[in-house]
Amino acid sequence: MIHLFIILQFLLLFFPIFLAAKSLQFSRGELAKEVAAINKILKDEHAQRGITPPGKLSNSLLVRRVYLATAGRIPSYSEIKDINPFNQPELKQVLIDKLLESKAYQSQMFNWWADHLRAKSYITGQANQIGAGHLYVDWLKTQVSENVPYDEMARQVVASEGYPWKNGAVGYYLRDDGMPLENMSNTAELFLGTQLVCAQCHNHPFDKWTQMEYYQMAAHTYGMVTRMQGKTVDGIKKLAKDFKKRGNGMQMMSMTSKPDQLEKQARAFRQAVQDMLLPLQFGAQHKDRKLKLPHDYKYDDGKPHQVIQPGVIFENGNDFNSSKSSDLVNQYAQWISSPNNPRFTKVVVNRIWKKIFGRGLVEPLNDWREDTEASMPELLDHLSGLLVRLDYDLREFQRVLLNLSIFENQAFDQELESLAPYYFQAPTLQRMSAEQLWDSLLTLVVPEIDHRQPKEEEVDFLESKKTNLEKYRLKVEGMSSVELFDVIKEGRKQIVEIQEQINAINARMKKAVELDDRESLGKLKRLQNELRDNQRFALASQIMGSEFNVYSMYKNYPPKRKRKPSEEERKFPTYLRRASEQNSPANADHFLREFGQSDRDLINNSRKEASIPQVLNLMNGNLRWRLIDKHSPLAKAVIKEESLEQKIKIVYEAMLQRSPTEKEIELCENSLPFPDLPTAPAFKDSHTQKQKAQMNQKAKKQMEHYQNRVHNELRHLAWALLNTREFSFIQ
């Protein structure tokens, strides 16, 4: 009986999560009520201020805006054709719901989260050596796909602990390795929209925070250390020290007595021991260490080196009475993410509002002060209440905002000063973000872009990394110090052997340099790197056996294997993936970075200003060829039509999501040297069957020729549209 009761409790406890993960919360009726309430607030505000909202967007442009806001890209041509025009409001709602539950939504939400959590595939800090960045990104993608509520995410990262392959959320601490105070500043900026960072060294120059308060906040998480400690790690470290003391015994092992050779071997050995430890070292763990005031603390409310008691900066009735780090961190996480916290809810409401309408109710987003006021305080309060009622389900919250009446209006067309109040009679005009732009180009170039599979070997590699790191940890923790000692002794031999091999390679490389033999040099360099890796992994290999893929623990990507690209890959190379499937962030000279994708070193650091490399890319970059080459969805749609006017319409609809005006069609036809439509064969009664067949053949060939020439000119049209503001801005 008791078991049944427990199971029932468990189900009841977790049932909401099962619901929230998969389906939308509100019924149509409930949604309509919520939307109506907010519509009314806005309408009253506008009436009071004598503001007339701009006109409504045309249906097709509204589709464009809906797609960009929910799917992070423009709709593909086939998607456009599948949608019935929005004559009934329900059809718009149906589209929004469909998109919110799609993979496309997850892709763009990942971008938003990665910008805010600063989740990088390659983190600075030593944990990068076991791929902790990739593990963090992987964890984040899982959370996004399960639509984990915002407050839970906050608690998951702030109170994370353990190894990065078991709990990717510890990436939150690992990416600020060695900078625990800055980590707290980032937490305050992200979740509380509050700039504390200046108060690290002195009382804050323009806000009310004191240095004491800064340290009191940081005291909550100071116990989180990013180096895992324990019997095993300490044991190995001790063994390594003993070896060092005894001179590593290298002379016994090696075939040389030359001091520099011995030094090389000794260094290689030390490196190998370090590498043996590496997988066990990184993560987040509680240590009961106390934060002290700095040695040059100059205010009279404390003394240098004084131990700090944790304290929070807003009073919302929490009593932190534990001194145990794990309790403290959990209470702190609860305090941050509580609906009673004066800033937690407002800050994220404001961020999401800006995401959809292009500007916050409060600007700037990251610098809330005591006297900060929203342009429409009643609206901000109402929205905050809504988010709390939704249990911080960001997807459902966006669902409400997307259905507001102002979302259907044409973008505001007046200049807005950065601090001027704005009352949101319409979304503001924004350029597409770097990710939206890239993803939109891909939509034109690659069919079914949301379902592009990542490279199989990359997926497998990440999975094997997680499995193998855990296997390794279990094995090593189960070894006695005697066994470890033996491993290190054995491993030393191997290291010395490999060093001999490396020396041989070095000699050959010297020769190759003399002969300026670049090809051999390249090959030898690769061999040298391989041998160095073997040396580094020697001890781990020793422990796990030759079958074990040591590489998967220490590297960030699978070894490059030369294989024939598949049919699909030849048509659409693998680099044509959505922004969320690239490295986070993309490489420094990638399209995405040129267009201002956040470097994810700072919170929310993306930009939309114009720059020369951007327009050079649009004018001369690689993607413009693919827009309408024979594989692209655009080309396939265009071929189906015969008339030139129809073809031009298709290009317009696919790229700008609207029909061209008469004037525009005329302009295109006049500017580009389109050929004339070939005339149909004029059959006469005097023509024989054979002659007629021949004439048909000829006509067919002429039509093909015509199609090709038209297609050629349409490339230029596509280029021209690509380089308009209308394409890259969202009206």
Interface of this chain with other proteins, residues 325 to 384, rule: CB under 8 A: 363-367
Name the residue type at position 708.
N
Closest distance of CB 729 from other proteins, Å: 7
The encoded tokens of residue 297 equal: 């603390």
The contact pattern for other proteins, residues 397-436, with x = CB under 8 A and - = no contact, is --------------x-xxx-xxx---------x-x-----
| Residue 514 lies near other proteins (rule: CB under 8 A) | no
Closest distance of CB 513 from other proteins, Å: 12
Name the residue type at position 661.
T
Q: How many chain residues bind other proteins (CB under 8 A)?
A: 73
Residue from the set 36, 610, 677, 680 that interacts with other proteins by CB under 8 A:
610
Which window, 138-146, 379-387, 574-582, 613-621, contacts other proteins (CB under 8 A)?
Answer: 613-621
- Residue by residue, DSSP assigns 698-731 as HHHHHHHHHHHHHHHHHHHHHHHHHTSHHHHEE-
| Residue 594 lies near other proteins (rule: CB under 8 A) | yes
| Residue 233 lies near other proteins (rule: CB under 8 A) | no
| Residue 162 lies near other proteins (rule: CB under 8 A) | no
Name the residue type at position 721.
L
Residue from the set 33, 607, 698, 700 that interacts with other proteins by CB under 8 A:
607
Closest distance of CB 297 from other proteins, Å: 14
Residue from the set 51, 513, 616, 677 that interacts with other proteins by CB under 8 A:
616
- Residue by residue, DSSP assigns 302-341 as S-TTPBPPP--SS-SS------SHHHHHHHHHHHHT-TTS
Closest distance of CB 403 from other proteins, Å: 25
Closest distance of CB 341 from other proteins, Å: 21
Rounded Cα–Cα distance for residues 506 and 528 (Å)? 8
Phi–psi pair at 487, nearest 5 degrees: -60, -45
Identify whether the C-beta of residue 153 lies closer than 8 Å to the C-beta of residue 143: yes
**Tokens 């001091």 map to which residue?**
259
| Residue 58 lies near other proteins (rule: CB under 8 A) | no
Residue from the set 39, 58, 126, 405 that interacts with other proteins by CB under 8 A:
126
| Residue 504 lies near other proteins (rule: CB under 8 A) | no
**Site residues for other proteins, window 202-221 (CB under 8 A)?**
202, 205
Give 100 or 524: the residue with its C-beta nearer to other proteins.
Answer: 524
Which window, 31-39, 262-270, 322-330, 665-673, contacts other proteins (CB under 8 A)?
Answer: 665-673
* 6, HSE (Cβ side, Cα atoms, 13 Å): 3
| Residue 73 lies near other proteins (rule: CB under 8 A) | no
| Residue 720 lies near other proteins (rule: CB under 8 A) | yes
The encoded tokens of residue 512 equal: 């190759």
DSSP state at residue 409: B
| Residue 619 lies near other proteins (rule: CB under 8 A) | yes
Contacts of residue 347, defined as CB under 8 A and 6 or more positions apart, other chains included, come to 191, 192, 193, 365, 368
Closest distance of CB 86 from other proteins, Å: 22
Give 142 or 723: the residue with its C-beta nearer to other proteins.
Answer: 723
Give 178 or 454: the residue with its C-beta nearer to other proteins.
Answer: 178
DSSP state at residue 162: B
CA-closest candidate to residue 634, choices 551, 722, 573, 698: 722
Strand partners, 227: 282
The encoded tokens of residue 206 equal: 């323009």
Residue from the set 613, 680, 693, 694 that interacts with other proteins by CB under 8 A:
613
- Residue by residue, DSSP assigns 472-517 as HHHHHHT--HHHHHHHHHHHHHHHHHHHHHHHHHHHHHHHHHHHT-
| Residue 486 lies near other proteins (rule: CB under 8 A) | no
Identify whether the C-beta of residue 641 lies closer than 8 Å to the C-beta of residue 650: yes
The neighbour count for residue 523, using CB atoms within 10 Å, is 14
| Residue 665 lies near other proteins (rule: CB under 8 A) | no
Give 17 or 197: the residue with its C-beta nearer to other proteins.
Answer: 197
SS3 content of the chain, % helix, strand, coil (to 5): 60, 5, 35
| Residue 664 lies near other proteins (rule: CB under 8 A) | yes
